[in-house]
Chains A and B, each alone.
Chain A
């Protein structure tokens, strides 16, 4: 297992496409968080009702697209080139290969996402303040506030879970395009169209799809105020993150079974 892990690490270190996508994840996370913050204007009619912490982490909506590519490329590129056969003829046990990929993926995605979330959050807060999200209606938020820490670290964990979801999907689908499409379909589209669904259905989606993980960004009273404006928490922050990780684990296990029992 250590050898396989070492091998997967070497692969990732020398795989340009994945590294570019990883970099893109960081840039999108930090960049769009700051950009969205600069575009937000307070509504003076409802002072104090927006979640400024979540509004400082909105880059996640785009970073998740890039992180899907990171997770998918780790495995679909091997199926595309036929290198998967080389990998499997060099490794005893297929679960080992996938587990190593998942571990290596988490090891690189989490720190990049964490740094990017923090790097985006700080300027986003000052931009928001400049746009009217200021005391007395909005208390000043700093990166060291417990809720802010939870949201920033949670966002990094959420992106990690999304990367693993893409890895699992890629192991099942074996095709880059299909995997990225499925990943975007599962992760991004619910967020995009949440407002167009009937309220009860939207609520179910917020509880049961990987979208639930977005609750971790919330200060705890409104789940996705930054995206669809509805009030209320369909799921608690850590529970929501757990739902996202349950998806990641489930898809990883399914991928492991597919890898084990299907011909390559």
Chain B
């Protein structure tokens, strides 16, 4: 499907620092796209550029093929969550949503609807300044959903949330993507995107490191990694090493082999009558995959991992 949020050659400098460096990405609808990188990688700046809050030094950032600033009634096209504390603390949650609704000609009744959607109906009239972090994030999501937009751009929506809140956010984001919306969500913490994002855009120091689907990334990062448990560790290690695989002892009675398929390991061990108590091919977690990726890209050259779009 066609990209609805895209940047090409996007560059932004703050003095001598290059916050975003020749970044070209395309975010597609119907899936959750995670935007990851360490703190200071340029995620927030990229989102600000996409939302027309900052002006690029080079390149462009487009939403539905247009610069954000040219969109009429922008809330009905893009819902954004940038900073969950960005409201007047003395105003009630409902009043906050009301002025936002009015700015885009959305009936104020919609405010009650989104408050119900995020589970804040009971505190709608309380001052938002007294909200907990989790409630603020929910209010931020409510604000983003106010105009029922097809595109959501969310900067660190899970930051400061408790496990229950993170679970809620995951389900919410997945649900929104399942409705066909474009969900572009940044995080500096890979683990939080596990089971949430389908696609990942990884940046470091403002440059693109990877634009890849989550399953591909994990597959690549996992490589062929097999763990076995056996009392005959010495024999097993010698045997597996003789095939050219990298073999390490990972415990008193366990061995880890890289570069050999699981079924080959099983065949070999059985044919040599080495006792096998357990065999599993392990998959990298998203977090491990991320470290693998950023380690590989330590020189900050872009890598394209089996993506259909080659990345400059």
CB neighbours of B87 from chain A (8 A): 81, 83, 86
Contact indicator B103/A264 (Cβ below 8 Å): no
CB neighbours of A263 from chain B (8 A): 48, 53-55
Known contacts A7-B103, A10-B95, A10-B99, A89 near B51 by CB under 8 Å: yes
Contact indicator B98/A10 (Cβ below 8 Å): yes
CB neighbours of B263 from chain A (8 A): none
Known contacts A77-B88, A83-B86, A14 near B55 by CB under 8 Å: no
Q: Quick one: which of B75-90 are within 8 Å of A by CB? A: 75, 78, 80, 82-83, 85-90
Can you spell out 25 A-B residue pairs with CB atoms less than 8 angstroms apart? A3-B102, A7-B102, A8-B99, A10-B98, A11-B99, A14-B92, A16-B90, A16-B91, A81-B87, A82-B83, A83-B86, A83-B87, A83-B88, A85-B82, A86-B143, A89-B68, A89-B74, A90-B100, A90-B103, A92-B69, A92-B71, A263-B48, A263-B55, A264-B48, A264-B54
What's the Cα separation between A211 and B71 when bound, in Å? 42
CB neighbours of A6 from chain B (8 A): 102-103
Q: Quick one: which of A1-39 are within 8 Å of B by CB? A: 3-4, 6-11, 14-17
CB neighbours of B98 from chain A (8 A): 10, 14
Interface check A87, CB cutoff 8 A: yes
Q: How many A-B residue pairs have CB under 8 A?
A: 94
CB neighbours of B85 from chain A (8 A): 81-82
| Binary B-proximity of A217-261 (CB < 8 A = 1, otherwise 0) | 000000000000000000000000000000000000000000001
Interface check B105, CB cutoff 8 A: yes
Contact indicator A85/B100 (Cβ below 8 Å): no
Partner of B91, one of A15, A88, A91, A264: A15
Interface check B308, CB cutoff 8 A: no
Q: Quick one: which of B106-140 are within 8 Å of A by CB? A: none
Known contacts A3-B104, A15-B88, A263-B48, A85 near B83 by CB under 8 Å: yes
What's the Cα separation between A10 and B95 when bound, in Å? 8
Closest to B103 in A: A7
Interface check B277, CB cutoff 8 A: no
Known contacts A85-B53, A89-B78, A89-B80, A10 near B86 by CB under 8 Å: no
What's the Cα separation between A77 and B85 when bound, in Å? 13
Contact indicator B100/A86 (Cβ below 8 Å): yes
The 10 closest A-B pairs by CB, nearest first: A7-B103, A82-B86, A263-B54, A14-B95, A10-B99, A7-B102, A16-B90, A6-B102, A11-B99, A82-B83
Contact indicator B102/A10 (Cβ below 8 Å): yes
Partner of A89, one of B53, B70, B88, B91: B53
